[in-house]
Structure 1
Amino acid sequence: MSLRPILETRRAQPTMEGAGVHLHRAFGFQDPSELDPFLLFDDFRNDDPAFYQAGFPWHPHRGIETITYVLSGTVDHSDSLGNSGSLGAGDVQWMTAGSGILHQEMPHGNAAGQMHGFQLWGNLPGSQKMTAPRYQDVEAKEIPEVIDDDGTRVRVIVGSFWGKTGPVDGIAADPQYLDVSVPAGVTKTFRIDTYRRAFAYVFEGAGAFVDAATPQGVLLEKEVAGQELNIRDMSGDRTLVRFGTGDEVTVQAGPEGVRFLLISGAPIEEPVAWHGPIVMNTKAELNKAFAELRNGTFIKPSH
């Protein structure tokens, strides 16, 4: 087994999207090869409806898949194909935009006004960019959760892990998408197939991810005075951890535990032509998509 090195850690940056939704972006609109097959990751979280209720009105997508995971509140969605529904706490929607779709996503807070969710964009290979759009809506109760003897809990959203397989399937990137909670002070190792690109996104508590380059220098230490935990090199709330090649990731949870998404996928390794919500392989394909948006031929007949 080989521990993955940490290529970088960085904080998600505040930005605005849609009609004025305040969110934090961990990556996106930079080097698309960095986390290929993933293009963008947003953390939309707020306690004030004024910062999210305008939502994401009608907009197009082509050539990608969007993965929405809701933790608090709800997201109502509808599209140009006549689909509509609502995602609640713990629910997941995996939308394959394929040849093109127009949709809207409107967030609503829970009883306390809180809204929290994530959206990940996955690229599609050129051979699948013009496939028919489809949705996979998964309710929280359908997502398996495994609990280890040390209290570590993992929700398996996509892929297989610890003998459980997530309900979302047929995804081009062959991803693994896990929601991981590790109790305070516990050190835990997770297997990831070597050929996948991988990242972690911390959104509760803090944890020290062990770097293959300096494994002895990143774990927790106890101070002599007062036996308080002295935390060094910890990744806290809204931190992205990008890993290099290997087949294991190890984390030691801080004094409040740590919760993070652990996401990996098979790189597509194709050229990327990207503007806004449309991702193709060439500039000519991108220009054609926007021309079709203007002339009303963007949405293709269903097969």
Structure 2
Amino acid sequence: MGRGDLSDDEWARLEPSLPQNVGRGGRWQCHRRVINGILLRQRTGLPWRDLPIRFGKWKTVYGHHRRWSADGTWERVLRTVQADADVEGRIDWSVVSVDSTVCRAHQHAAGAHHRVPRLLGCRRRPAAHRLDEALGRSRGGLTTKIHLASDGSCRPLAVLITRGQWGDAPQLINVIDRVRVPPSAGGHPRTRPDHVCGDKACSSRRNHSYLRRRQIKHTIPEPKNQKVNRQRRGSHGGRPTGFDSTTYKRRNEVERCFNALKGSRAVATRYDKRAYVFHGTVTLTAIRLWLRH
């Protein structure tokens, strides 16, 4: 086992969730060797063509990652790993923090065709992909933003990829709706945390109303301009939002989660042209964090 490869315990927890070699066609490559190759590329950020030969053909490794990012395999594996952690009581639902981080896009990430790709050999119908490729342009160049919901143990519960210039407040509801931890015995997945914590960028009347409607306690500070506007409207401005300074101190948990994710160079810098492939890269890095804990 090389440095950064899956351990025997991690592979035993991961193998049942991966696609099986059924139906017509040739025999698949060893999934463990392929995933180790993907993990090496994510950790170092090297081009796919420069993968060591011990992982097999680079096209095979890249093809698996691209296909599993498109058909939702990485998403299903993440849900399975989270479900196992929830059964063992390793998910801290007390405070779920929401925030975002900007990733610089490499020059190789630009130039993708604006059309939904046709995936060869994909038995499942590919999920709906973004046509804008989640690339935004600012003074620093092309950027991509990762919106994240983290549990109290600094592990990702939900991931959303958008353009770099998109705000946090319009995406908070989308991030919370992506929190779905299925129970191991079947039934409805858990989608509601006990408490949600966010910074001023997540504050809006729409978000506060959404959290109150779902009966989710939240600690989101109100910006000064929103406070002045609410007071100017009088009784029509709504009631002020509550703020717990002690709970707000736990917002560092999502920052530490970002720090762990960006330990992978392929996450800190986006090299993937397609948004769904980069989403799969971030999701696989999140899976590795859950497996290591």
Same fold (TM > 0.5):
no
Higher strand share: 1
Which structure exhibits the higher relative contact order, with contacts defined as CA atoms closer than 8 Å and separated by 6 or more residues? 2
TM-score normalised per structure 1: 0.22
Higher helix share: 2
